[in-house]
Amino acid sequence: MRRYRLLFGCALLAALGCSAGQVQSLSGGASQWPPYSYQDDAGQAQGIAVEIMRQAAAQSGQQVDFVFYPATRLNRLLDEGRLDLNYADSPQWNSLEATEQFVYSQPYLQVREYLYFLDNHPARHLPLEQLRGLRIGVVRGYTYHRLTAALNSGRLSTLETSRERALLDLLMLGRVDAIALVDDVFGDQLAARGLDPDRFARGAKLSDAPLVIKLQRQHADQLPALNAALQALVQSGEVERIRRSHLRTPAIQPGRATAER
């Protein structure tokens, strides 16, 4: 009996070791996008999307290695199949052709992008269709589908930078007429620099996008477990708790913001 127990114990340990060896480590890429994803002073991954991804991965039995790249390089690495996923993406920010290579999780947050102006800019209240001759500050590698027609026709132009935090400088120095940012990101940037929100006005909405995990199609078998974990996090209120814990201030309505269009 003792010999049988010993053999059974060895077999169990071997099975457990085999299972542990089968846990797949996925490379999860994102850009420096505080408060959603960024590296702290110690080089550790932090942010709203990072924490949600960590919890979803833990609950679904996955392991994710967090890496950071500028948006243009991040997109190239994903397109080349050299990264497994982007944990802070949206179908709205991708082309229709992307569905041939990628699959998307269920949404875990909704994010809204707007144009932001200085509060005295004459075009701050105009709808997007009436904006002409303006230069818009954008992050290089980001896609703004609502701006495409105006940019292609020359009605608007862009000035690109590699980081969101540089956009406020461009706006306050008058080098651009407006900047394109997600509302939580804009509020975080103002709070980080102690800027008065009444100096700015929120203009036309660029997107109202569901935030998802975008995976290479070869990892589509991971979706059911990830979706179940995300759904539990959303329904329990944990996602909103995580979001609020990373915001420096309550949601900001800068200046005399225009009605949502």
**62, 185: one domain:** no
Assigned domain for 70 exists: yes
pLDDT at 17: 41
CA distance linking residue 149 with residue 129, whole number of Å: 10
**34, 84: one domain:** yes
**117, 201: one domain:** yes
pLDDT at 22: 56
Assigned domain for 252 exists: no
CA distance linking residue 195 with residue 168, whole number of Å: 10
Compute the 3-state secondary structure of the chain and give helix, strand, coil in percent, each to the nearest 5: 45, 25, 30
**119, 186: one domain:** yes
Assigned domain for 261 exists: no
**41, 128: one domain:** no
**92, 121: one domain:** no
CATH (domain of 118): 3.40.190.10
pLDDT at 8: 38
Assigned domain for 19 exists: no
**215, 93: one domain:** yes
Assigned domain for 122 exists: yes
- Which structural domain, as residue segments, surrounds residue 174? 112-208
Amino acid at 29: G
pLDDT at 257: 46
Assigned domain for 231 exists: yes
Assigned domain for 42 exists: yes
Is the Cβ–Cβ distance between 128 and 204 less than 8 Å?
Answer: yes
Which of 189, 208, 227 represents a domain boundary (last residue)?
208
Give the predicted TM-score (pTM) of the model: 0.83
How many domains does one find in the chain? Answer: 2
pLDDT at 18: 40
DSSP 192-234: HHT--GGGEEEEEEEEEEEEEEEEEGGGGGGHHHHHHHHHHHH
Tens digit of pLDDT per residue, the chain (261 long)? Answer: 444 444 434 443 443 344 444 567 899 999 999 999 999 999 999 999 999 999 999 999 999 999 999 999 999 999 999 999 999 999 999 999 999 999 999 999 999 999 999 999 999 999 999 999 999 999 999 989 999 999 999 999 999 998 888 999 999 999 999 999 999 999 999 999 999 999 999 999 999 999 999 999 999 999 999 999 999 999 999 999 999 999 986 444 555 444 444
**87, 118: one domain:** no
CA distance linking residue 44 with residue 247, whole number of Å: 18
Tens digits of residue pLDDT in 172-210: 999 999 999 999 999 999 999 999 999 999 999 999 999
CA distance linking residue 226 with residue 6, whole number of Å: 37
**92, 221: one domain:** yes
**162, 122: one domain:** yes
Assigned domain for 143 exists: yes
**70, 139: one domain:** no
**32, 79: one domain:** yes
pLDDT at 260: 46
Which of 162, 190, 208 represents a domain boundary (last residue)?
208
**Strand positions, DSSP E, the chain:** 25-30, 38-39, 45-46, 63-68, 85-89, 102-104, 109-118, 134-139, 156-161, 178-182, 200-216
